[in-house]
Structure 1
Amino acid sequence: MNDNCINHEYYMRVSDRILALIRRIFHNNPEFRHDSMKHVARFAPIIPLMGGRPDLSKTLNRVVTFADGSNPLHFGAPIVLAAGANKTAKRICDYANMGFGGISVGTATRHVREGNTHRPRIGFIENDRAIHNSMGLNNDGVEAVTRRTDAQIAAAHRAGMCVGISVAETPGLTDENEKVKDIIESFSIAYRVADYIEINVSCPNTGENRLDLDMSFIDKIFSEIKNYRDAQSYRKAVYAKLSPDMEEAHTATIMDALVKAGVNGVVIGNTYPTKKIENLPVRVKYNELTPLRADGDCGGMSGRPLYENMVKNVKFIREHYPQMSVMACGGIDHGYKIYDLIKLGVDAVQCYSVVAFRWMAAHAMRKELQEALSKDGFKTLADYDSKNPKG
């Protein structure tokens, strides 16, 4: 197993400095900056010098297959826009303009949610190239998200994008049976349409306990998901999105349960609870962060500081659970990082925060990934996969 996962640095181009200027101009409007990505994605092809168009070359195509016969996943590039960027599933194909080869829409809950009513509920940490948020799973509900995805998924495939739907339990439920029913209903609705379904059991931003800390509940959820999948005439891939802050023993306990339930893979991981950021290589202190909820909590952190911790978790999963597909998420902001993770056995990466700090980040990372492959003598990612089969 490759142990050389460097936290590669990228060169600040003029466009990146323009992006930094935009962040400074709108520093008092963090949610506007967060939400403006959809407009950038839409108009990227016509904005001068942006270079925002779908990359339909086959150089970075990747097909992920599963031993249990689940439908394979076809990525135009193994760079997936993480859940939280497009919560509504509107205008999915626009994100191909930004260079993404896949997208997880949502996270969606069974019913419409306003989310956290406190403002601000998102903050940018400039010196650490990080973001912290406590959006509170605001979304239009899984039925609307799935209906919109259904109407667009064929066009998304033509644009080189694999489309997953992220679902989570609706916060506020107290009865355990109602909680299980809620998340299984969301899962079954998304299952009809999505290429893959991502179960978010680790959101730290709702003011309630994370599901991945309750093993009894985890067993019930994924047992019911297994029963549902086994009763279907077709089989789609299921991923569990886990928190990045768990001890190895607890990670192993969850992984054992996921393997038993036939889950195909994991997303490693979610945002990092800011209460624990002293464990990350950051300059900012917890008491310097802007409170994002009425109770003073500062939500979860994403961005560059999560990379080394994410790599540690990926190595643990790949070593002890090699049968599990892995999507790596956390601090991925360079194409050489993607290549290092691919050499660890990762199938795809997810990212989002990087788009706030790198101009057309996915396109930039595509070029860097192609360069890394070329240095090792591979013309395409398919060439690498044919010479380095998994399993």
Structure 2
Amino acid sequence: MLYERVVRKALFRMHGGDAERVHETTLGVLARVGPALRFGTGVRDEHTAFGVRFPNRVGLAAGMDKDGRALPAWAALGFGFVEVGTVTRHPQPGNPRPRLFRLRESEAIINRMGFNNAGAQALAARLERLGPLRIPLGVSIGKSKVTPVEDAVEDYCASLRALYRHGDYFAVNISSPNTPGLRGLQDREALTELLGELTATATGLARGGTRKPILVKIAPDLTDGAIAELLEVCARYEVSGLIATNTTLGRDGLAASDQVLAGEAGGLSGRPLTERAREVVAFVSKETGGKLPIIGVGGISGPDDARRMIDAGADLLQVYTGFIYRGPGLIREIGKALRA
């Protein structure tokens, strides 16, 4: 409650309400103080999925800490795992600003960041300096904007090669709405080529050992038929799991006061996505007979949302927008509810 009554209000007023500048400032503070923070504020509720053991089932979604600047802090705040990225083979500045918008009454965010990051090699160097983390690390990889769609496969594979030794699992982001042509990689033919090369690359990098898990992150805007086709391709290449879902291009469920911002281009996240994300998780779970591990993400703003996502078939959860609006206390509340 202290966060929502005091801290959030102060943060939202900082820098004249510029959401991206507030994000950068907060991330900078966490990067500086993270190594000094005590570990152990999270709820212990061990869970194993796709061969990885997690201290609890609540993770930080990709996008919050793209370049892995504040990794020790996320562990100290109680997260059971963290996903960095989305990172691309080539460093890129992302789309022009402004590109991040808060829709306060709807507890939502619209972003069109465009995979702004320092590149796969820079992230690999940072992770090398940092050494092993206290919680599992996921790495989300995507296509560089300068890379033509027809060359996307090698772009993804280059990032995988650069970061393979550092990640506990890898998320293949083919569903962001902010990189031209990216969502076309969810189509059967394109996905077949991409997953075929990625899994072959990962198998080679494993050098006879167990291949590290590869997960696919999908959009909430896909039809059930399109998701079913995608799942067939994932099964063919023994993909380890699915992340459902990314942001949506839809604008349903927004408060009247947020309609002015509804016209901003980009992906919508937060509470308006709660029901659709849960529907996708339930559909994937049913289609795969509950055998494919799912990370459920989208509109998780409290313990009830978390329990319902787990009941729908998710093995693990990720939060992003809910964390911005509810603060660190949300992680412990969800952890306690799931353990109970």
TM-score, shorter chain, exceeding 0.5: yes
Q: Which residue of 2 aligns with 1:289?
A: 261
Give, in angstroms, the shift of residue 243 of structure 1: 0.6
Which deviations, in whole Å up to 9, do the C-alpha atoms of 1:110-152 show, x marking residues without a partner? 0111111x22111000000011111111101111112222333
Q: How does 1:333-372 map to 2 (within 5 A)?
A: 333-360=301-328, 363-371=329-337
Q: 5+ residue gaps in structure 2?
A: none
Q: 1:200 to 1:334 in 2, by over 3 A?
A: same
Q: Which residue of 1 aligns with 2:145?
A: 171
1:36 and 2:15 equivalent?
A: no
CA contact (8 A) 1:89 1:148 kept: yes
In 1, Cα distance between the equivalents of 2:186 and 2:34? 44
Q: How does 1:236-385 map to 2 (within 5 A)?
A: 236-273=212-249, 276-277=250-251, 280-284=252-256, 288-289=260-261, 298-321=265-288, 322-360=290-328, 363-371=329-337, 373-374=339-340
Q: Which residue of 1 aligns with 2:46?
A: 61
Give, in angstroms, the shift of residue 153 of structure 1: 4.5
Give, in angstroms, the shift of residue 327 of structure 1: 0.3
CA contact (8 A) 1:128 1:304 kept: yes
Which deviations, in whole Å up to 9, do the C-alpha atoms of 1:25-58 show, x marking residues without a partner? 23531111222332453467899xxxx7432677
- Residue identity in the other structure for 2:193: K
Q: 5+ residue gaps in structure 1?
A: 1-12, 67-71, 292-296, 375-391
Q: How does 1:225-244 map to 2 (within 5 A)?
A: 225-231=198-204, 232=206, 233-234=208-209, 235-244=211-220
In 2, Cα distance between the equivalents of 1:175 and 1:38? 32
TM-score scaled by structure 1?
A: 0.79
Q: Secondary structure at the match of 2:105?
A: helix
TM-score scaled by structure 2?
A: 0.90
Which deviations, in whole Å up to 9, do the C-alpha atoms of 1:215-237 show, x marking residues without a partner? 32111000112222333323111
Q: Which residue of 2 aligns with 1:5?
A: none
In 2, Cα distance between the equivalents of 1:343 and 1:143? 39
Q: Which segment is superposed worse, 28-37 or 335-344? A: 335-344
Give, in angstroms, the shift of residue 355 of structure 1: 2.3
Q: 1:209 to 1:42 in 2, by over 3 A?
A: closer
In 1, Cα distance between the equivalents of 2:13 and 2:33? 20
- Residue identity in the other structure for 1:147: A
1:140 and 2:107 equivalent?
A: no
1:221 and 2:194 equivalent?
A: yes
Q: Which residue of 1 aligns with 2:158?
A: 185
Give, in angstroms, the shift of residue 285 of structure 1: 8.4
In 2, Cα distance between the equivalents of 1:120 and 1:127? 20
Q: Which residue of 1 aligns with 2:91?
A: 112
Q: Which residue of 1 aligns with 2:176?
A: 203
Give, in angstroms, the shift of residue 187 of structure 1: 1.7
Q: 1:220 to 1:336 in 2, by over 3 A?
A: same
The percentage of counterpart residues that share the same residue type is 26
Which deviations, in whole Å up to 9, do the C-alpha atoms of 1:293-328 show, x marking residues without a partner? xxxx51001111111111100000011112211001
Q: Secondary structure at the match of 2:7?
A: helix
Q: 1:290 to 1:120 in 2, by over 3 A?
A: farther
Q: Which residue of 2 aligns with 1:22?
A: 10
In 1, Cα distance between the equivalents of 2:192 and 2:11? 43
Which deviations, in whole Å up to 9, do the C-alpha atoms of 1:181-238 show, x marking residues without a partner? 1111112222222000111001111244523443321110001122223333231111
- Residue identity in the other structure for 1:323: K
Q: Which residue of 2 aligns with 1:73?
A: 52
Q: 1:152 to 1:345 in 2, by over 3 A?
A: farther
Which deviations, in whole Å up to 9, do the C-alpha atoms of 1:333-391 show, x marking residues without a partner? 2133323333333221111112221131xx433234424543xxxxxxxxxxxxxxxxx
Q: Secondary structure at the match of 2:327?
A: coil
CA contact (8 A) 1:123 1:290 kept: no
- Residue identity in the other structure for 2:223: E
CA contact (8 A) 1:166 1:199 kept: yes
Q: Secondary structure at the match of 1:165?
A: strand
In 2, Cα distance between the equivalents of 1:345 and 1:213? 22
In 2, Cα distance between the equivalents of 1:290 and 1:312? 23
CA contact (8 A) 1:339 1:369 kept: no
In 1, Cα distance between the equivalents of 2:193 and 2:19? 38
Q: Secondary structure at the match of 2:158?
A: helix
- Residue identity in the other structure for 2:9: L
Q: How many residues matched? A: 335
CA contact (8 A) 1:44 1:97 kept: no
CA contact (8 A) 1:80 1:100 kept: yes
Q: Secondary structure at the match of 1:172?
A: coil
Q: Which residue of 2 aligns with 1:86?
A: 65
